[in-house]
Structure 1
Amino acid sequence: MVSVMWFRSDLRINDNTALWNALSHTEDVVLVFNINLAQIIEQSSMNQQAFFSSVLAFKNNLKKQGIVLNILYGTPRVAFSKLKAKLPQWTDVYFNMAESGFGFARDQEVAKFFTDELGVKSHQYLDYTLHSVNDVTKPDGQPYKMFTPYYQQWRQLPKPSVNKLFSLPINQYTSKAYFEDQKRLISLSGNPGEDRLKMLGSNRAQVQLTKFIKNGLEDYDNNRDFPNLNGTSQLSKFIRTGEISIRTIYHAVAQLPESQGQQTFIKELCWRDFYQMIYAKYPNQKEQAIIDSYRHIDWRNNEQDFELWKAGQTGYPIIDAAMRQLNTTGWMHNRLRMLVASFLTKDLLIDWRWGEKYFQQCLIDYDPASNIGGWQWAASTGTDSAPYFRIFNPTTQAKRYDPQGAFIKKYLPELTKITNNKIFDPSRLTQIEQKDFGVVLGKDYPMPIVDHQMARNRAIMAYEISKDR
């Protein structure tokens, strides 16, 4: 009997539920990864290049152990039909299932295809989240729409244990390469160098977890909101690719003495499960507002404003620095994600779907459920979202969370010479100050593209009108 282990967003050996089960029930396992044409967005996007760089690193690390990760190319139907033709003795396939979004629909279709057309039995396992989308419900079985009661029940449920497996028993794996497409994989990953690949993989993820627990966890609740501090876990990109499991992270943190930082971090893990559940219950939410009354907002959708927002040229330093961080690194601090989303949807009155899709292209830690949920939260159109009249003031937010202007100056070098509080609102600089600080407004740095107070009033009116439609 030959089984196939189909890797997706679970690029690791240790604590991989499907792999653990494949090893427990099969003597001969073939490892595969499918490059699915339907999931290729933009070959040059940072999101895609980051993900396939992790696939490449995983493949290379397995190769060093004498183990082959076969790269299949095409839709699952085409790719696995070719594999079956080369591997007629194949009887079972193991994979960690998706419970929401594109992956859920794919898994429903492919499981039927495996059984009906290939004669292969599929074994699916929960691995991506701590709890299934159906585990945490109201007493009547209905899903929660508010996070706090969801969290209170989630917190009480026992968490799945870690399946420890630090290396593969070589004798259980065929070293034969049925499909080898290294060139295509390298192309999709943007041809990363060795230095970049060394920053990826399960070992690197474990190092980052250990570093965070030692240096960042205790003060996580205090430091996580300040973008110039290294106060976040920096684990999101590894969670996204599955280079470390969510169970490994949870248990490493939960076993420590209780602290406010620990509890705050665990709550963030719950938010991840919550948004997965919401996406499963509202499968159209990538394109449709969850709250009915906000499906008819009269968005301005000014394309020039959108381009200035993307480029970090709005005239609001904290917004511009955040967008330049995203464009430069493929990552953005979570507090700033809320600020730039609020600015786009409320100050510029641009459809949240535009911003969500731009983040999809750029974020190296892109998670559909969390990203969509975050954008609907900021736009006040989703479950447990910010009230429509809660509109972040970018200037006061900058003063509060970047009080020295250090983050702003890191990504806006044109403002580095400003030594007073006008770093948060350069439009207040006098002609003399502009000369002294070497920043000419409209040339070196733009004037604000919108007046915040006017925009706030305009947004509130647009939302109130939408409620009456």
Structure 2
Amino acid sequence: MTSVMWFRRDLRLEDNTALYNAMQSSNDLICVFHINPEQLEATPTLNQSTFFKSVQQLKLELAEHNIALNILYGDIYDAFRELKNKLSKADGIYFNFDENGFGRSRDQEMAQFLEQDLNFDVHPYSDHYLHGAKEIKKNDGSGYKVFTPYYRQWVKLEKRKPLSYEIESNKFRSETLIDYSDKLSELIHQDEVLNQIKVGANNAQIRLNDFVHYHLKDYERMRDIPSVNGTSRLSQFLRTGEISIRQVYQKVINQPDSDGKKTFIQELCWRDFYNMIYTMYPNQKEVSIKEDFQQIKWDNNEENFKAWKNGETGFPIVDAAMHQLNQTGWMHNRLRMIVASFLVKDLLIDWRWGEQYFHEKLVDYDPASNIGGWQWSASTGTDSVPYFRIFNPTLQSQRFDKNGDFIKQYLPQLSRINNQKIHEPQTLNIAEQQKFGIKIGSDYPLPIINHKEARKRVLDVYKTSKESLKN
């Protein structure tokens, strides 16, 4: 039997549900990856380049097993027609389906096309989450909007274990039928940031092992401190599927009990929870989930948005966080919440502007897993986050970067400040500025906004939006 294994965001050979089933059912497998121009960014982004770098790495890993990865390109219907024409016979096509977003509509349409027009037997599998979007519901059949009751149900359910198998190279085609590898290479725009980003299933496993053995136990205590390596950094690999969520869960659950282990498992639950939310509200990237906040009158000051993007707001923790994003393609999770709150609530800039910037810059951006967190940090999402939750960036800085270690790493002009004024450099007097070798307003900007006044303003704006529904 000749079959097709269609890779998408499951760029690994281990514990891949569709791949496992394809090998069980076929002795002549053709591996493919399709590049869809409809999904490509108009201008190159780090997010996109990183993903295609991961695809290229999968191609190399398959080649080590003498297996070809056929790179398809162009209109998706034409691409698969071309593939079908290259095959004298092809019975089945195997893939791991998406539950939401563009992927969901693509899979639904393609399943019908592949079956009815190309005569494939279509075999879709659930692979990306521990529990799918429709697995956990309230007694009345509706979805949860609050995390805690969802978690109570989630934690009771048995989790699928990783699949164990060997790659049987003799079952796969080694010759390439269609090869748009040149298009793949063109989509990987090399720059200094991309060059330092490690991709591939092997690096994903190294990262998982390092986290579990050296950081998991202290995860609860250290995860909010941006100056230390206290988080898993697995989101990039989960986004591309270079590691399976089942492998992560199994590795963690087998460790000795600790507060860190318990908290991290809750984070894995959050991932499933947000996937459910995204499936329930497919337009959440464009429209606030809560109707109360669909009438917000944004300020949308272009200069303030530019200052936010460039890390020039005059609030050190915000600026250091944005420099981390721009220099590395990643940002610490606590900082994501701080900079999102600052943009939306202090600057009163539309959360969709921030969402788009994170989409471009974050290598692990994934709206279905709430990587970026704009709906939630903006308090326009579920009932889990009250709208009046407004981070004070200075207090957040003092709490989570007490000695300014993270700030000094990404804002070297502030590195000589050795007291608590590093969190509020505008309070340095002239003598202190001379002592620390910095001129506030020149070497580092003054705050572009007064937080206390901004807090009052945004609460009034949110209140007005809520009241507009009554009229």
- Give TM class, smaller chain: over 0.9
Cα pair 2:51 2:240 within 8 Å, conserved? yes
* Corresponding residue for residue 301 of structure 2: 302
2:304, 2:347 within 8 Å by CA — same for their partners in 1? yes
Whether contact under 8 Å (1:53, 1:197) holds in the other structure is no
Alignment map for 1:47-446 (pairs within 5 Å): 47-165=47-165, 167-191=166-190, 196=195, 199-371=198-370, 374-446=373-445
Task: Encode CA deviations 1:403-427: one digit per residue, 9 max, x unaligned.
Answer: 1101001001111111111110111
RMSD: 1.5
Tell me the SS of whatever aligns to 2:155: helix
| Shift, 1:42, TM fit | 4.5
The alignment partner of 2:212 has SS state of helix
Instruction: Check if 1:22 corresponds to 2:22.
Output: yes
Aligned partner of 1:463 in structure 2 is 462
The answer as to whether partners of 2:97 and 2:125 remain within 8 angstroms in 1 is: yes
Consecutive unaligned residues in structure 2, runs of 5 or more: none
CA separation of 1:376/1:20 partners in 2, compared to 1, >3 Å: closer, same or farther? same
Task: Provide TM-score, normalisation by structure 2.
Answer: 0.97
Distance 2:442 2:132 in 1: 53
- The TM-score with structure 1 as length reference comes to 0.97
- Structure 1 residues 411, 192: CA separation in 2 closer, same or farther (over 3 Å shift)? closer
Secondary structure at the residue paired with 2:388? coil
Q: Distance in 2 between matches of 1:110 and 1:378?
A: 35
For the pair 1:46 / 2:58, whether they are aligned, the reply is no
Distance 1:177 1:74, change over 3 A: same
CA apart distance, 1:260? 0.9
Q: For the Cα contact (< 8 Å) 1:53–1:190, is it kept in 2? A: no
Counterparts in 2 of 1:325 and 1:191: CA distance versus 1, 3 Å? closer
Supply the AA of the counterpart residue of 2:94.
Y
State the Cα distance separating 1:191 from its structure 2 match: 4.4
Residue 197 of structure 1: how far off its partner (Å): 9.0
Residue 373 of structure 1, CA deviation: 7.6
Percent pairwise identity: 53
Structure 1 range deviating more: 371-380 or 104-113: 371-380
Q: Partner letter of residue 406 of structure 2?
A: F
Question: 1:443 Cα shift?
Answer: 1.2
1:64 offset after TM fit, Å? 2.1
Amino acid at match of 1:84: K
Kindly state the Cα deviation for residue 200 of structure 1 after the two structures are TM-superposed: 2.1
Which shows bigger deviation, 266-275 or 255-264? Answer: 255-264
Q: Which amino acid aligns with 1:240?
A: R
Residues 25-50 of structure 1, C-alpha deviations (whole Å, 9 max, x = no match):
11111000111111111452110111
Relative to structure 1, the CA distance from residue 198 to residue 318 in structure 2 (aligned partners, 3 Å threshold; closer, same or farther) is closer
Identify unmatched segments of 5+ residues in structure 1.
none
Q: Which moved more, 1:39-48 or 1:350-359?
A: 39-48
3-state SS, counterpart of residue 90 of structure 1? coil
**Shift in CA distance, 99/116, structure 1 to aligned 2, threshold 3 Å:** same
Preserved CA contact (<8 Å) 1:54 1:197: no
Q: Cα deviation per residue 1:131-155 (whole Å; 9 max; x = unaligned)?
A: 1111000011110110000011000
User: After superposition, what is the alpha-carbon deviation per residue over 1:296-340, rounded to whole angstroms, capped at 9, x for unaligned?
Assistant: 011101111111100100000000000110011010000000000
For 1:92 and 1:43, the matched residues in 2 are separated by 36
User: How many aligned residue pairs are there?
Assistant: 467
CA distance in structure 1 between the partners assigned to 2:11 and 2:73 by the alignment: 17
CA shift digits 1:265-287 (9 cap, x unpaired): 01001111000000001111110
Partner of 2:72: helix, strand, or coil? strand
Cα displacement string for residues 69-108 of structure 1 (whole angstroms, at most 9, x for unaligned residues): 1110113212111111111412211000000111111111
> Shift of the alpha carbon at 1:183?
2.2
Q: Using the TM superposition, give the Cα deviation of residue 389 of structure 1 relative to its aligned residue in structure 2, in angstroms.
A: 1.5
Opposite residue 269 of structure 2, the aligned amino acid is C
Residues 1:453 and 2:470 aligned together: no
CA distance in 2, matches of 1:190, 1:353: 25
Measured in 2, the distance between the counterparts of 1:430 and 1:185 equals 55
Which whole-Å deviations, capped at 9, do the CAs of 1:217-238 have from their partners, x for residues lacking one? 0000000000001000111111
Determine the C-alpha separation between the residues in 2 that align with 1:24 and 1:43.
41
Secondary structure of 1:156's counterpart equals coil
CA distance in 1, matches of 2:27, 2:203: 30
From the superposition, tell whether residues 311 and 198 of structure 1 become closer, same or farther in structure 2 (CA, over 3 Å).
closer
2: CA distance, partners of 1:345 / 1:326: 18
Whether the 8 Å CA contact 2:313–2:447 is kept in 1: the answer is: yes
Letter in 2 for 1:438: G
Moved over 6 A (4+): none
Task: State the AA in 1 paired with 2:449.
Answer: V
